[in-house]
Structure 1
Amino acid sequence: MSLRGTWYRWALGLWALVWLLVYMPGGGYSWHYFAHGSALLFDGSGASPAGGLHLYANYPGLQIGPVAFVGAQVLRSIGSDNGMVAAQFAMTAAGLLVLHTLERCAVLTRPDLLRRPTALRRTVLLGGGVFLVVWESLSVHYGHLDDVLALLFAVLAVRALIADSPALAGLCLGLAADSKPWALAFLPLVLAAPRVRRRHVAVYTAATVLLAWLPFVIADPGTLTAAQYTIVNEPSSALRALGVATAGTPSWDRMAQLGLGCGLGVLAVVRRRWQAVLLLGVGARIVLDPGVYDYYTAGLLLGALCWELLGLQRPVPVWSLAAFTGLHLAPGVIGDAPVLGTLRLWTVVLLTAGVLLLPQRWCAEGELPGSAADAIADPAMVSGDVHRLPKRFDMVSAERSD
């Protein structure tokens, strides 16, 4: 493709570089948690209290998955700053990879977009542009490698589902949860896989999660209590807007986040809108979380862009721009905490309702490659009921014959 045809990608790359430079002074706010945690995991078995496989039981404040600590261990060996600058550049590159992967997913599942590239480019440019502003806050200002990896692996899982690679999809879903536990809200993507592939995706997901977390649980059952770690319930949180006025995280909150996220994701899959699972999962986290950190918004913007590119019949960055305005811009101009909490709540509620209640004629085809195999395995096909063949059957068959 010519430079003229890819100008918007170069523009997004420069845009990411601009925001990297904006956030670098005073950046890496949370990177010390990753440097300290990875040191405790790999070198702290003799520390007091002990690290190693006792890490999560003895340091419950480190709400970071083991895969993120492995990544931090590699990065902190680069440079004299515990790898902070190397991590900032690596996570910036991950954001651009996420955008490229989503665009590639859109083209693969919907080749008709190549016949109307203006809508595709506009959505990637505008939706991707606001996404990168917040992504750089996540990557450079905060330095949250765990959230970066969770979102990156989630997008790679979507790509693997589209490529009809159930093992890779399950591996990526598992690695997302192994990077940050709240990524378990993306598990409904397992159900989005064609029926004949679903078990494989589920098995690989479960095996990947257990392989990472089970050694910690076996070595120290206190690992399970780490999920009870609490943070302050901020005055501007959506949780307070819902009427929960406790000073810290309620005991039921973490499970409620996962339950709501998975429930909404399952509903989206049932309604053939699996492309919205990321948006709904992160939205559930934001609505029920006592924190209001800006980097939470990066996941919501990623989910919004995934829905706009893959789920809408005609891509438009409405969800992205609404999420960016309500959750990122508003706190800069509104100083009233209860108002911000209400705005935070209703922004997510309206985005969620917009996904689930949108008329089907405005949504893209919800079938994934491999659905033709479901049709062949369906007893109705044996009886000759060809009208029940998925709409993508002919296209998938043609692709496999090439």
Structure 2
Amino acid sequence: MTVQRSEEDAAVWPLSRDWLRGTCRRELLPVWLVLGGWTVLWGAYAVQNLLMRSWGIFPMAARILLSGGPSGGLHLYSVRPDFQFGPVSVLVAAPLAHLSLHGSKWVAGVLMTVAGLWLVAVIAGSKARDVGIPARRPLLVGGLLVMPVWPLLSLTSGHLDDVLALGFGLFGILQVQRRNPVWAAALLALAVDSKPWALPFGVALLALPRTQWLKAAAVFGGLVAAAWLPFFIADPATIAAVKFQLHISYGSVLSIFHLSGPIPPWVRPAQLVVAVAIGMLAVRAGVLQAILLATVAGRILLDPAIASYYTAGAVMVAFFMDRTRSWRVPWFTVAVVVLLWAPQLVQLGNDWYVVTRWLRLLWGVGTLAALVVTLLRHGRPVAQEAGQTAA
């Protein structure tokens, strides 16, 4: 017979009328009040000294892209090879480029913060394959853990590209689980077109039935090419953006191994290999959320920078991963909060970088190892999920 599903487990899509009605039901109102106040509290803390320090590069890129001449339009990345974000991020920022810088900071900051709370609600209602209306406990626990960290990304740094990459990646995974190859491929491609580090997310498409692989690959490859190729065709000097090298900061995990100066050529390929390898295990085990966490963990472990907003992405995808498990305590999320975020609240001078880079090493290696063990122990491949709703 068919298993009767509760309202909380019903498959609905976020922002649909049913989903919005469900998230506003009476028993969730106290939770929303708590999380709203909690978010405002940590948002105020995040901006007390600095508001969106990096936001200005996005409206600047939009103005360059929408202008003409040899230093505008599709010459964007040859003119500014340090802009390491994708065209989708530029286009999303374009409407705000008409506002004053200060005004656009506040509008973008509020929107990205609300988007973080929305993603928490979506994750709180996510199951193995469906998106349901969030239950009270997961929503409260997730919000209390995630929202103190998220303002590092949405309000302190203002990195629109990471918000878009994480959001598109999350929804792309959900569409793969719903066996929708076109939307899944489109959303995962938009993640890559927002920020190139999201490229390993595409591994999730292998979880689709083999008959859908060609369609998904065509959509994914087509949208990635459509976003990036025009810049290389219009201006071959755009290759300079690919060759652009960051320098290894003192707090990077790489500095533990006495690396300094420009980033070694093996770092980016190593990040890709780690994410793809664990991503393949995730596809085999049917735990696609692990692809996002493995990508972010590999980035933090091997990145030359020590940007605090990386932690915001880590806590969000860790919560997404925790929702696949039956644990009462979301251990992956707690680990991010304890090892990556809490130490950032302590200001002990440059010597503190020595401690925090070891904590990043501990978290990165520990998270990747835990993912491998979890995925190898997960005995239910994706193909078997189709029979979950029948008994």
Coarse TM-score class (shorter-chain normalised): 0.7 to 0.9
The yes-or-no answer on 1:130 pairing with 2:154 is no
Per-residue CA deviation, residues 61-115 of structure 1 (Å, 9 max, x unaligned), is 111111111111112234563622111111112112211222232286498xx9x
Written as runs of structure 1 = structure 2, the 5 A alignment for 1:187-206 is: 187-206=202-221
Per-residue CA deviation, residues 21-64 of structure 1 (Å, 9 max, x unaligned), is 33334302011111211111111x336xx121111122111111
Counterpart residue identity of residue 43, structure 2: L
Identity of aligned residues (%): 33
| Cα pair distance change 1:359/1:143, threshold 3 Å | closer
Counterpart residue number, 1:348: 364
TM-score (norm 2): 0.85
Q: State the Cα distance separating 1:134 from its structure 2 match.
A: 2.0
Residue 326 of structure 1, aligned match among 322, 325, 339: 339
Residue 249 of structure 1, aligned match among 240, 263, 273: 263
Counterpart residue identity of residue 294, structure 1: S
Per-residue CA deviation, residues 376-400 of structure 1 (Å, 9 max, x unaligned), is xxxxxxxxxxxxxx3533627x9xx
Q: State the Cα distance separating 1:185 from its structure 2 match.
A: 2.2
SS of the residue corresponding to residue 389 of structure 2 reads helix
Between the aligned partners of 2:138 and 2:379, the Cα distance in structure 1 is: 15
Between the aligned partners of 1:18 and 1:124, the Cα distance in structure 2 is: 18
Counterpart residue identity of residue 328, structure 1: W
The yes-or-no answer on 1:158 pairing with 2:182 is no
The answer (yes or no) to whether the contact 2:35–2:140 under 8 Å persists in 1 is yes
Q: State the Cα distance separating 1:254 from its structure 2 match.
A: 2.1
Greater percentage in helix:
1
Between the aligned partners of 2:183 and 2:153, the Cα distance in structure 1 is: 26
Between the aligned partners of 1:77 and 1:15, the Cα distance in structure 2 is: 31
Between the aligned partners of 1:109 and 1:157, the Cα distance in structure 2 is: 12
SS of the residue corresponding to residue 276 of structure 1 reads helix
The answer (yes or no) to whether the contact 1:287–1:345 under 8 Å persists in 2 is yes
TM-score (norm 1): 0.83
The answer (yes or no) to whether the contact 2:279–2:291 under 8 Å persists in 1 is yes
**Range with bigger deviation, 173-182 or 219-228:** 219-228
Between the aligned partners of 1:254 and 1:93, the Cα distance in structure 2 is: 31
| Cα pair distance change 1:351/1:121, threshold 3 Å | farther
Q: State the Cα distance separating 1:340 from its structure 2 match.
A: 2.0
Per-residue CA deviation, residues 342-393 of structure 1 (Å, 9 max, x unaligned), is 21011111112112213877x59553xxx4xxxxxxxxxxxxxxxxxx3533
Between the aligned partners of 1:152 and 1:185, the Cα distance in structure 2 is: 15
Q: State the Cα distance separating 1:288 from its structure 2 match.
A: 0.8
The answer (yes or no) to whether the contact 1:68–1:179 under 8 Å persists in 2 is yes
**Range with bigger deviation, 261-270 or 207-216:** 261-270
Residue 373 of structure 2, aligned match among 357, 377, 385: 357
| Cα pair distance change 1:257/1:359, threshold 3 Å | closer
The answer (yes or no) to whether the contact 2:281–2:376 under 8 Å persists in 1 is no
**Range with bigger deviation, 78-87 or 299-308:** 78-87
Number of residue pairs aligned between Structure 1 and Structure 2: 364
| Cα pair distance change 1:7/1:158, threshold 3 Å | farther
**Range with bigger deviation, 326-335 or 340-349:** 326-335
SS of the residue corresponding to residue 98 of structure 2 reads coil
The yes-or-no answer on 1:24 pairing with 2:50 is no
Counterpart residue number, 2:275: 261
The answer (yes or no) to whether the contact 1:322–1:347 under 8 Å persists in 2 is yes
**Range with bigger deviation, 151-160 or 18-27:** 18-27
| Cα pair distance change 1:318/1:80, threshold 3 Å | closer
Between the aligned partners of 1:330 and 1:163, the Cα distance in structure 2 is: 38
Per-residue CA deviation, residues 219-258 of structure 1 (Å, 9 max, x unaligned), is 11222331222223122211223x1512232223223222
Between the aligned partners of 1:329 and 1:364, the Cα distance in structure 2 is: 35
| Cα pair distance change 1:101/1:364, threshold 3 Å | farther
The yes-or-no answer on 1:284 pairing with 2:284 is no
The answer (yes or no) to whether the contact 2:285–2:379 under 8 Å persists in 1 is no
| Cα pair distance change 1:178/1:239, threshold 3 Å | same
Counterpart residue identity of residue 207, structure 1: G
| Cα pair distance change 1:162/1:352, threshold 3 Å | same
Q: State the Cα distance separating 1:326 from its structure 2 match.
A: 0.9
Q: State the Cα distance separating 1:20 from its structure 2 match.
A: 2.5
Between the aligned partners of 2:385 and 2:191, the Cα distance in structure 1 is: 31
The yes-or-no answer on 1:66 pairing with 2:80 is no
**Range with bigger deviation, 72-81 or 88-97:** 72-81
Deviation >6 Å, runs of 4+: none
| Cα pair distance change 1:267/1:108, threshold 3 Å | closer
Counterpart residue number, 2:4: none
